[in-house]
């Protein structure tokens, strides 16, 4: 997950014909996502949409030290 996705945790997902949820937009606030969801539902009344909150966490990165004991001096 890149930095921009970390800022925009609220997302709108659409159900595709093959029954897979696809994120189509991301927002910083729930209110922004719900407002856009209302617009989408007016424009596409038969398409299922939902607002989600992304909790994807990246695996921890190994800390590197500039003073490595095995490094030549």
- Computed over every residue of the chain, the mean pLDDT equals 80
Q: Which residues of the chain have pLDDT under 50?
A: 63-69, 71, 73
Helices (H), 8-50: 30-43
Give the number of other Cβ atoms within 10 Å of residue 48's Cβ: 11
H or E, element range at 52: strand 49-53
pLDDT digits (tens, 9 = 90+) for 56-71: 655 555 544 444 445 4
CB contact set of 21 (below 8 Å; sequence gap of 6+): 13, 14, 15, 50
Enter the pTM of the model: 0.66
């Amino acid at each position: 997950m890149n930095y921009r996705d970390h800022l925009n945790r609220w997302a709108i997902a659409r159900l595709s014909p093959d029954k897979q949820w696809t994120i189509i937009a991301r927002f910083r606030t729930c209110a922004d996502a719900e407002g856009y969801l209302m617009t989408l539902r007016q424009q596409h009344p038969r398409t299922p949409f939902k607002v989600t909150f992304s909790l994807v966490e990246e695996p921890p990165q190994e800390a590197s030290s500039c003073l490595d004991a095995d490094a030549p001096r």
